[in-house]
Amino acid sequence: MATLSDIGVSALINILTAFAFLLAFAVLRIQPVNDRVYLPKWYINGGRSSPRSGGNFVAKFVNLDFETYLTFLNWMPKALKMSESELINHAGLDSAVFLRIYSLGFKIFVPITAVALLILIPVNVSSGTLFFLRKELVVSDIDKLSISNVPSKSVRQVQYKIFNEYLFAKFSSFSNELWWDYFRFFVHIGLEYLFTIWICYMLYKEYDNVATMRLRFLASQRRRAEQFTVVVRNVPQISGNSVSDSLDQFFKTNHPDTYLCHQAVYNANKFVKLMRKRDRLQNWLDYNQLKFERHSEKRPTKKTGFLGLWGKRVDSIDFYKQQIKEIDKNMALDRQKVLKDTKSILPVAFVSFKSRWGAAVCAQTQQSKNPTLWLTNWAPEPRDIYWQNLAIPFLSLTIRKLIISLSVFALVFFYMIPIAFVQSLANLEGLERVAPFLRPVIELKFIKSFLQGFLPGLALKIFLYILPTILMIMSNIEGHIALSTLERRASAKYYYFMLVNVFLGSIVTGTAFEQLHSFLHQSPTQIPRTIGVSIPMKATFFITYIMVDGWAGIAGEILRLKPLVIFHLKNMFLVKTERDREQAMDPGSVDYPETLPSLQLYFRLGIVYAVVTPILLPFILIFFAFAYLVYRHQIINVYNQRYESGAAFWPHVHSRIIASLVISQLLLLGLLSTKEAANSTPLLAILPILTLSFNQYCKHRFEPAFRRYPLEEAMKKDIMDQTTEPDINLTTFLADAYLHPIFRSFEEEELVEVRVDKVRVDKNQSYSSNAQSQTSDDHSSPSPPHHPTTSPPQDVYHHGFPPQYAYNFSSSTHYGYHYEAEPGNSRD
Amino acid sequence: MATLSDIGVSALINILTAFAFLLAFAVLRIQPVNDRVYLPKWYINGGRSSPRSGGNFVAKFVNLDFETYLTFLNWMPKALKMSESELINHAGLDSAVFLRIYSLGFKIFVPITAVALLILIPVNVSSGTLFFLRKELVVSDIDKLSISNVPSKSVRQVQYKIFNEYLFAKFSSFSNELWWDYFRFFVHIGLEYLFTIWICYMLYKEYDNVATMRLRFLASQRRRAEQFTVVVRNVPQISGNSVSDSLDQFFKTNHPDTYLCHQAVYNANKFVKLMRKRDRLQNWLDYNQLKFERHSEKRPTKKTGFLGLWGKRVDSIDFYKQQIKEIDKNMALDRQKVLKDTKSILPVAFVSFKSRWGAAVCAQTQQSKNPTLWLTNWAPEPRDIYWQNLAIPFLSLTIRKLIISLSVFALVFFYMIPIAFVQSLANLEGLERVAPFLRPVIELKFIKSFLQGFLPGLALKIFLYILPTILMIMSNIEGHIALSTLERRASAKYYYFMLVNVFLGSIVTGTAFEQLHSFLHQSPTQIPRTIGVSIPMKATFFITYIMVDGWAGIAGEILRLKPLVIFHLKNMFLVKTERDREQAMDPGSVDYPETLPSLQLYFRLGIVYAVVTPILLPFILIFFAFAYLVYRHQIINVYNQRYESGAAFWPHVHSRIIASLVISQLLLLGLLSTKEAANSTPLLAILPILTLSFNQYCKHRFEPAFRRYPLEEAMKKDIMDQTTEPDINLTTFLADAYLHPIFRSFEEEELVEVRVDKVRVDKNQSYSSNAQSQTSDDHSSPSPPHHPTTSPPQDVYHHGFPPQYAYNFSSSTHYGYHYEAEPGNSRD
């Protein structure tokens, strides 16, 4: 096992790595040529259009102002300057609340660290009496500072002695030292109680805060399409009636006073694929044209075979132009098919109401006698919709969910095997046994320390790298129709994976591989003892993990190496106009499916080790503070969220911290039972029950704010609207809010056809094809540029689709799922 | 352990008991004097007003028509005559669906019994090769017919040999006998699959049926107050505003188009207590007056002390008259207080809407930003409301629920100890050891058989007798506001109790007490083996249990000994008028909290033992058939349900049968692992997962029909109403539907005060105090006598309150909870 000096080496390496990243970031950041990599949010928000620099040609690419190099950490205070309400306006509620998780972690752990270090370290170090576990398990230096050091058999003695004392009333003969042991033991239990109460208090306060913020945010939003709209799934197919007809009929009957209109959904998945292929070809064409412009002496050529490796050599520009022409023809055909074929109308629709109240009522009630038909739910905001999944037949969803949950179970529990194998290698003795020829290298003192401190964490990290993609594909198969839901589901899967494999797997399996034989052949009462004993033993592993993943990883986040490289590659080969450059920008966004569960691991480590090995806490504190700064900087300057869910992820954050609390209590129970102080278990057993009922209470008290829209609020906003803008035409406002983005590229006369079922409702309003232009105008009205919402400014949005949807070969396959292609290219 | 002959004796005893009960019933039933005990439902329904008999004086009390004695089982075909739709009209949907559970049990187990007996008994008996368990555990004769008899080690041999055969392709040398063993083993697994599929199929069909029946029932109901009404809890107290004012304001704002009126709820619990006391005194007065009339020579006297044991001797009639006068004064005072004091208005109200659609919307949506305020839910029907619990502050409900769930947990798990103790005594060897002086008696062959066959079941039954009362009190403390919910909750608690204590407790603890020592000191892999082995060993115990509880118990149910005695006592001492006699009738009702979980035990036994010890199945079949007949007779002739929930209990019935299926699969897994055929476990492990996903599917598909009211249905009924009765005055119809029954005894001028907040809404409708009489007239209109609903006929209902609410000293404390007193007495 790792010793204190191993930790020291690891800490040094990671601190150096982190500093190297920060330094690199500081230098790269102030180069004007990187401006769009490190400040894309400001470009998107319209706050910036070009790097601020002198007129010098060189200064356009390299920063010559050497003073700025000296203050290379000045992004930190800058990141802290923006107030929370400004942050919400700037980046949305999701981002602001995401940051609150880090500050919550910091606020929770500062007092815990202080108390734990002040009280527990002296208590544990001073009891140098018994190293009763040494013979059975290898104990590292750091364990001296942990609970392993509290003597176990002596406590039994104490209890027995106390009993004797009590019986014979020989109080004077009772030795001071035993009292001291006894006291030490209950200090741990007392602190567990104290920490639980403190964490619950902070969680309650924070849940209250976030719920209020969410409601205030929703109330402050201006008129938005999703407030009036409900998504209806599984519309029954009545023979002879079109989907549109049965929709109209059903909602006119059952919501006569509030029903306004609906938007049918077309199955355009094939068209989207063609569009995507066309974009790819267009990129190659652009690349070749640019190449030809720069070196006009030679026309670029390519081979037609696979990857251009063999086949006839042709002129590239002509080849791609030909290909694009063909695909355009196909697209035109497919477009006609989508519009004409009734089969391409899916049994899904976006139904809009005259008031928010009507939509709230429809979303929360059951419509039909058969509970699998006419399923209503809040519509996600238009940019949050994952169109592809709307085409999935509703009936297959149940089976899909079953299959996916079985696969997740298999993934979570059988992924363990390779991890355990790698970790058993990371035990140096094991590595030497497997590969004895490496011995001379490994035995070098420095390399040994390096390997022991660095390897286990790194191996794990590599394993985890490909995982989010798999989980996102799995969530995708489950068929959720909103990006935000997809990400939350992927996040949940990742959470279980981290819990079982990284946390429990590291504690149990790591040990199990070391002593598998004795583990299998011992009596059942021995098992909790083994698990309990493993916890403090694994503290060193987790400390290195925190440094590798938490410190160096976060420093890597701010450097944005991958987007930096890709941006410059694109800039070199594809960018012709300023508009192209804008599209080459990849601001990215907070990676919820990966970040939230990782964060939970730090909470869990902090909570579990607070009482057991408090020396781990300062590492976690540094992580929370550093990550807070970095993410605050990134959210302000870089990230551009793809959607706004109004902090819908908070209930998960809350309940998972509670789960960590319960886990810590159960593990402490196991650990204490190894001290043969089983008498103290009833004292601890009450705690999980109380914690879980606290969770129930919070769920009951706050969760509805995240799941349902109260009628009172809806009515209030409706009334406000009526008084401020009594004669707004909602029909035109909602007209194409939920139109598949692909249709925005269609020619106008076709578009009228698509919209025809929207119009049918208010024929009397003389809605003709010349209302077309008016529609787009009205559409921009809900969020004019000056208005503080999180949607991108209208001058971008208005062109068709926000730029983060733009298809480009680097970002679209980031998670194994694809965003819809941006039609702008093909229109120009 | 019990042998086959023990079972024989037990069967004989129980069949004799059952026949004795049936015979007694047959004789008692046809005596005119018992007519009101055995046919009360017809009296209540108005179908009967006096026993049909000759004019002879003796014939009024004793049946002299000796022919009728000969056909003493003729109630059975009579019970089967009524069709299901007639039954629904006669006794309500709850009762009809309750009967379907028995017929479902019968339909499920007939083919299973046939298949199991035909296939398994030969398979198990023929394998007389190994009694490998004999040394470790005592095996009874009946176990020969069960799976215990399938050899275990030989299977291992088989598998090994098959593997060898395969490798060396020496197919001819493979012995026939081993093939036979191998085949026998997989017959059990195959049958488990077959039975699971069959049971799931039947459950699906039945759930579909019941859901359809429920929706048809709800659709066929005429206008009823609960269709338009929502119960609102936790109305916030705004200073300066009365509860009524804030209610009006809130619902006028948020449901402007549909809100009609509301009924505030008064805290009349104290008044109810006084009323109850007055009734008790009135009963004593009646008793004494009757006594005096009959023996007019001597005025009855009593002592004033405790229970009339000491104190001054006074004239009874004067004493009770005096007491009643005093209590009347108190009641008048309290009545004033309830009406005048604003504190007696609870933050609960019944809010009525203009349409069913409006009520459905309000019941299913969240009203307020704060999810703990303005909680809306469907109002139970007026006679289903448990008024007492409306006064419980909503905030305390969370804590109450926590406390009760902890107590239920404690009750379920620590009640086990006495049961296990009694059962260890029921082991005769144990009994002899504890009480050696009993040996000579016990050793008599007949008594030994009797004790072994009868004791274990009986001991358990006595334990279970006091339990429902405790559980009902617990559910009561949880604060549910509907009788039906209370009963369902008590039923759930009873179910868990039966599952853990009667079923698992009998399997595990019974064995554990026999071999506690070896159990504690064996390795963990041995534990599932022990549990698995116990299952077939306990078959004999459960067979006796089925006979005692199922056969004799059901026969006792039809005899109605307790109501019979109480009716005649009342008749003798209290009854003066025909009306009194009507009130002395105690029809009772199906005792859901106790009957449903007991039923589930039979399902569980049948499902678990179907594959293991199929000889148990015929006993269960007889139970289902017999119980079906008895309950059908009782429901037609005796029971009068207190409420109608529209089969709301079905989802519980369904999911608990599913739970039994999963338990049976897991236990079979355990049992097979004892056969050292652990290789077969993956084959069985898939089954629970599939079963649970089937349950998920059913829940999703059918449960909403039991929890929510679809808007489509509401709208359909609304439209139908508008066309048939366009100008009905809903306000007057709903006026006092949800008035606390106690207020019906108030003088009319006071009643106007109570109703004043109902009226406020439609002042313009000139609703004055003379609308009073009109109100009561309208109130009777929703269900005229000829109409086929389940509510009692209006000529009874109209008098104030249906007679089953009548307070009388025998029935009101039946479950430890009290129904509201019937005010009729004090009015006359």
Q: pLDDT category, B425, cuts 50, 70, 90?
A: low
Interface contact flag, A366 B689, Cβ < 8 Å: no
Tell me the mean pLDDT in the region A140-149: 52
Alpha carbon dihedral A656, A662, A666, A672, in 10-degree steps, equals 120
CB atoms closer than 10 angstroms to residue B431? 18
Cβ contacts of B431 within 8 Å, gap of 6 or more: B425, B438, B442, B451
| Closest Cβ–Cβ partner in B215, B374, B711 for A365 | B711
Q: pLDDT category, A83, cuts 50, 70, 90?
A: confident
CB atoms closer than 10 angstroms to residue B52? 7
CB atoms closer than 10 angstroms to residue A41? 21
* Separation between Cα atoms, residue B225 and residue B356, nearest integer Å: 10
Strand order in the sheet with A345-353: A259-266, A345-353, A229-233, A375-378
Interface contact flag, A215 B369, Cβ < 8 Å: yes
Contacts by B337-341, CB closer than 8 A, 24 or more apart: B338/B266, B338/B267, B338/B268, B338/B271, B339/B266, B339/B750, B339/B753, B339/B754
Q: pLDDT category, A209, cuts 50, 70, 90?
A: very high
Tell me the mean pLDDT in the region B495-500: 85
B787: left (phi over 0), alpha (psi -120 to 50) or beta: beta
Lowest-pLDDT range of A61-65, B95-99, B138-142, B527-531: B138-142
Q: What is the pLDDT of residue B313?
A: 74
Q: What is the pLDDT of residue A60?
A: 60
**Residue spans of alpha helices (H) in B295-395:** 316-340, 356-364
Closest residue in A to B702 (Cα) is A371
Tell me the mean pLDDT in the region A575-587: 72
Tell me the mean pLDDT in the region B281-307: 75
Distances from the Cα of B674 to the Cα of A352, B63, B373, B526, B665, angstroms: 62, 62, 56, 8, 14
- State the distance between the two ends of chain A, measured CA to CA, in whole angstroms: 63
Q: What is the pLDDT of residue B266?
A: 82
The whole-angstrom distance between residue B726's C-alpha and the CA centroid of its chain comes to 41
Tell me the mean pLDDT in the region B687-712: 88
B306: left (phi over 0), alpha (psi -120 to 50) or beta: beta
Q: What angle do CA B766, B770, B773 make, to 5 degrees?
A: 120
pLDDT tens column, B668-684: 877 776 665 555 666 77
Q: Which structure tokens are listed for A315? A: 């002129």
The whole-angstrom distance between residue B533's C-alpha and the CA centroid of its chain comes to 33
Q: pLDDT category, B124, cuts 50, 70, 90?
A: low
Lowest-pLDDT range of A73-77, B171-175, B318-322: B171-175
Given a cut of 50, is residue A121 above it in pLDDT?
Answer: yes
Closest residue in B to A704 (Cα) is B371
Mean of pLDDT over chain B: 73
- Specify burial of residue A202 (Cβ count, 10 A radius: 0-12, 13-18, 19+): middle
Is residue A443 classed as helix, strand or coil in its secondary structure? coil
Backbone angles phi, psi at B229, to 5 degrees: -120, 145
Instruction: Give the global pTM.
Output: 0.75
Q: Which structure tokens are listed for A320? A: 């791609």
Tell me the mean pLDDT in the region A163-183: 52
Tell me the mean pLDDT in the region B230-237: 87
Closest residue in A to B401 (Cα) is A693
Q: Please report where in the chains the tokens 């023996």 appear, as a residue.
A: B295
Q: What is the pLDDT of residue B518?
A: 46
B525 vs A: CB within 8 A: no
| A–B interface: beta-carbon pairs under 8 A | 99
Cβ contacts of B88 within 8 Å, gap of 6 or more: B96, B213, B217, B790
* Separation between Cα atoms, residue B253 and residue B248, nearest integer Å: 8
Q: pLDDT category, A582, cuts 50, 70, 90?
A: confident
Is residue A269 classed as helix, strand or coil in its secondary structure? helix
Q: Please report where in the chains the tokens 């020592």 appear, as a residue.
A: B517
Lowest-pLDDT range of A509-513, A626-630, B479-483: A509-513
Q: What is the pLDDT of residue A210?
A: 93
* DSSP H or E segment with residue B719: helix B711-724
Backbone angles phi, psi at A335, to 5 degrees: -60, -45
* Type of residue at A213: M
| Site from B246, B369, B700, B703 to mutate, A interface, most A CB atoms within 10 angstroms | B369
* Separation between Cα atoms, residue A402 and residue A382, nearest integer Å: 28
* pLDDT-above-90 percentage for chain B: 10
* pLDDT-above-70 percentage for chain A: 68
Q: What is the pLDDT of residue B529?
A: 59
The residues in B 673-712 lying below 8 A from A, measured between CB atoms, are 689, 693, 696-697, 700-705, 708-712
Distances from the Cα of B591 to the Cα of B104, B207, B477, B489, B635, angstroms: 19, 22, 20, 13, 11
The residues in A 719-748 lying below 8 A from B, measured between CB atoms, are none
Interface contact flag, A369 B524, Cβ < 8 Å: no
DSSP sequence for A650-672: HHHHHHHHHHHHHHHHHHHHHHH
Interface contact flag, B701 A371, Cβ < 8 Å: yes
pLDDT tens column, B562-594: 888 888 888 777 776 767 777 777 777 888 888
Given a cut of 60, is residue A140 above it in pLDDT?
Answer: no
The most distant pair of C-alpha atoms in chain B lies apart, rounded to whole Å, by: 108
Given a cut of 90, is residue A602 above it in pLDDT?
Answer: yes
Interface contact flag, A369 B215, Cβ < 8 Å: yes
| Site from B365, B373, B718 to mutate, A interface, most A CB atoms within 10 angstroms | B365
* Type of residue at B58: V
Question: Which residues of chain A have a CB within 8 Å of the CB of B700?
Answer: 371-372, 398
* Nearest by Cα to A221 from A802, A787, A701: A787
Backbone angles phi, psi at A219, to 5 degrees: -70, -30
Q: pLDDT category, B796, cuts 50, 70, 90?
A: very low
* DSSP H or E segment with residue A702: helix A681-702
CB atoms closer than 10 angstroms to residue B249? 12
Q: Parallel, antiparallel, or unpaired: how do β-strands B229-233 and B345-353 relate?
A: antiparallel
Given a cut of 60, is residue A627 above it in pLDDT?
Answer: yes
- Specify burial of residue B404 (Cβ count, 10 A radius: 0-12, 13-18, 19+): buried
Q: What is the pLDDT of residue B805?
A: 36
pLDDT tens column, B430-466: 666 666 777 777 677 777 777 666 666 666 667 677 7
Distances from the Cα of B369 to the Cα of A219, A223, A704, angstroms: 11, 19, 9
Q: pLDDT category, B114, cuts 50, 70, 90?
A: very high
Which one has a higher pLDDT value, A736 or B325?
A: B325
Tell me the mean pLDDT in the region A311-330: 81
Q: What is the pLDDT of residue A29?
A: 77
The residues in B 226-285 lying below 8 A from A, measured between CB atoms, are 250, 253-255, 257
Given a cut of 80, is residue A327 above it in pLDDT?
Answer: yes
User: Crossing angle for the helix pair B396-414 and A681-702, nearest 10 degrees?
Assistant: 140
Interface contact flag, A253 B715, Cβ < 8 Å: yes
Distances from the Cα of A668 to the Cα of A525, A665, A687, A695, A704, angstroms: 16, 5, 11, 20, 33
Q: pLDDT category, B209, cuts 50, 70, 90?
A: very high
Given a cut of 70, is residue B642 above it in pLDDT?
Answer: yes
CA distance B427 to chain A (A): 30
Q: pLDDT category, A457, cuts 50, 70, 90?
A: low
Which one has a higher pLDDT value, A580 or B226?
A: B226
| Residue B474 exposure: Cα atoms within 13 Å on the Cβ side | 25
Interface contact flag, A402 B367, Cβ < 8 Å: no
Given a cut of 60, is residue A806 above it in pLDDT?
Answer: no
Given a cut of 80, is residue A738 above it in pLDDT?
Answer: yes
